[in-house]
Structure 1
């Protein structure tokens, strides 16, 4: 039986040392599932002052250089469409996957009802950064954020949404939805995608078996873009989602 194919997409600007650590961790995770999937790693150099050299990025198959720099959505869409595959893995440059992280993610997405799978992410101090996004009257919220990881269940969860910092997506679904919405610059495009996937009848899962590290907000200027993105999300989705669970 032929292996499933995965296009792993990392959008990055500068911060080459951190990106290298990200790709090393990704390579280790890929090695664990090598018998199951064939993974092609694509880095989008999103306007770095010093262009990346592929030889300095372990495990990377292609670097796409964007001199002008684009939104996270636009850059991710470009890379995801550059290489036909069965699955797309979106990964932030400040996420360092646990070597077993892809095992449960692949298990979960093998269910025909599941369209998107996220990963359990922790800060370096072992508190939860992400283990699923829930919807509240005030908007999306990272469930269990800042709780000690050892206090939160390891059972996989079905949730309204997951973060795009580490997100595995069925390529057919990605194409059907037209990729990430480019109405967003940086932020909330991941939640928007998950809600649209649910409208198509797919479930959103979060793998919980292991902890991967997410530094969060490392790209210069990234945090300042959250407010405008939340405004776009509110305009798109206010009153259109449930606040009582999956």
Structure 2
């Protein structure tokens, strides 16, 4: 049974590094009631165990051990299954929220709202274009890749408004979702192991009649994934697989078998071409 007024913060780990402790501390400092559910995908860096010890006396924090890397979406779903809040905040372990972040994002929720995102920024305060995007349909993706997009590409041009803006996609680094909406959508699609599951959830929310909203007045520091830096080829492989999966499920052009084959070939060729550079940059 959901607890009125409570927000359940779900944080997924996969060798995400010590920055996670700061992420949890910031979430617990929220000026609204929260619980934090940390879901570990088989980390070997001992961070989940250290969090378990550090918050042993705080019943607002729970650590869930999967003992294997199930993928991001499946891990969120398992955390959500244990959540008691009427709202879920999906939060990357390298994101830092401010005390009023959840309250300000919640202010944009009404009966028609399915997902609320925030403006994720790098260490210098520059907004990530992925904070708000359009569906990566094939025509849009090609125009963006060729530099011909303008206002018809994936990225949304122009300044970010200071209030709510209805968009097609918000970043999965931070998503606030009413529990009843999450349950109606059956959570994240678990066939996505990593990447694009946020785009899929936003698309399915819109298809179900809900609005996806960017909270343009909320900025969140995003440190850009420690897990990705340690396993770049692994992450890239799943990212490219998820890109094709999203295309097959949501892009009308995928109905054409020739186009479908060409997109498959293009995606996996791009993956292979990136491997040498990723191996050279891989941390030792």
Structure 2 length-normalised TM: 0.73
Using the TM superposition, name which of 210-219 and 120-129 deviates more.
210-219
Q: Give the gaps of 5 or more residues in structure 2.
A: 142-152, 254-284
Q: For residue 10 of structure 1, give the secondary structure of its aligned residue in structure 2.
A: strand
Aligned length: 227
Alpha-carbon distance, 1:94 to partner: 0.9
Whole-angstrom distance in 1 between the partners of 2:70 and 2:126 = 31
Specify the alignment match of 1:91 in structure 2. 91
Cα pair 1:131 1:143 within 8 Å, conserved: no
Are the structure 2 counterparts of residues 205 and 24 from structure 1 closer, same or farther at C-alpha, using a change threshold of 3 Å? same
Moved over 6 A (4+): none
Whole-angstrom distance in 2 between the partners of 1:197 and 1:3 = 23
Specify the alignment match of 2:114 in structure 1. 115
Report the structure, 1 or 2, having the larger strand content: 1
Specify the alignment match of 1:52 in structure 2. 49
Cα pair 1:131 1:208 within 8 Å, conserved: no
Cα pair 1:132 1:157 within 8 Å, conserved: no
Whole-angstrom distance in 1 between the partners of 2:154 and 2:226 = 20
Alpha-carbon distance, 1:215 to partner: 1.7
Report the structure, 1 or 2, having the larger helix content: 2
Specify the alignment match of 1:238 in structure 2. 251
Specify the alignment match of 2:7 in structure 1. 6
Q: For residue 174 of structure 1, give the secondary structure of its aligned residue in structure 2.
A: helix
Cα pair 2:8 2:88 within 8 Å, conserved: yes
Alpha-carbon distance, 1:143 to partner: 3.5
CA RMSD of aligned residues (A): 2.3
Aligned mate of 1:221, from 214, 231, 252:
231
Specify the alignment match of 1:243 in structure 2. none
Structure 1 length-normalised TM: 0.84
Q: For residue 63 of structure 2, give the secondary structure of its aligned residue in structure 1.
A: strand
Bigger Rg, which one: 2
- Equivalences for 1:27-106 in 2 at 5 Å? 27-28=28-29, 30=30, 32=31, 34=32, 38-49=33-44, 50=46, 51-53=48-50, 54-56=52-54, 61-106=61-106
